[in-house]
Amino acid sequence: MEPLIWIWEILETGGPVMLPIVIVSVWMWILIILKADWILRVRRNSLPVKQALEILESKEGRVPRIACPKAGILAFFLDRHFRECRVMTGEPDRLFFEVAVRRQTRTFYRHISTIMVLAAAAPLLGLLGTVTGMVETFRVIGLFGTGNAQAMASGIKEALITTQAGLLVAIPGLLAGQVMRRRVRAIHQEVLIFQRVVTQWLEKEWRKCTE
């Protein structure tokens, strides 16, 4: 119970601005956990290009059900177009595969921008708390002069705690957002390489069919 009491005292001392800072922090960390979980699952369940080409060449074309964008692209392409056509159709094959890729990649950067915005908003809320704390301090000075140190300390504590809270939310949020953005870009690059290899395979198979 003591940690909860200590946290409650900090929130109470920080004043009303602490509530939106806490909301921003909770919201941001929920998104960070969701995105980090997605990145870990994608990294753990990668579909090799060689295996993807073997699936395309096979008659059954069973795509493993794993949390991998490349597997999702291949499953969508086979289920919605390639398997139904049963024959190589050249340019339509390439275009539909590009549609399958875009369908997967459009969700890659989901939550990243929101995380960065929330992390950037936290120090601004802390600054707002600083202003309200200093306003309270000057109000006390106006009423009692500089002789009431205890009353003045209340406003100063509010200003410092909100500033500290805003920075404690912002710094790890910005770092996590930047790291995850780099990881997502690497995954995106792998998918683009995968798209190029499969497109080349489709073009090669189409040329075989037309010869």
Compute, in degrees rounded to 10, the torsion defined by CA atoms 22, 119, 69, 34: -10
Q: Which portions of the chain are predicted below pLDDT 50? A: 84-87
CB-based contacts of 65, cutoff 8 Å, min separation 6:
71
Count how many residues are written for the chain. 211
Distance, CA of 208 to CA of 211 (rounded, Å): 5
pLDDT at residue number 183: 93
Q: Where are the domains of the chain?
A: 2-210
pLDDT at residue number 68: 81
Place of tokens 């059954």: 60
pLDDT at residue number 209: 60
pLDDT at residue number 136: 76
Radius of gyration of the chain (CA): 27
**What 3-state class would DSSP assign to 17?**
coil
- Phi and psi torsions of 17, nearest 5°: -70, -20
pLDDT at residue number 86: 47
Residue environment code for 34-73, b if the CB has 16+ CB neighbours within 10 A, otherwise e: ebeebbeebeeebbebeebeebbeeeebebeeeebbbbbb
pLDDT at residue number 117: 95
Nearest to 94 by CA among 196, 207, 191, 199: 199
**pLDDT tens, residue by residue, 3-60:** 666 666 666 777 788 889 999 999 999 999 999 999 998 888 887 878 877 777 775 6
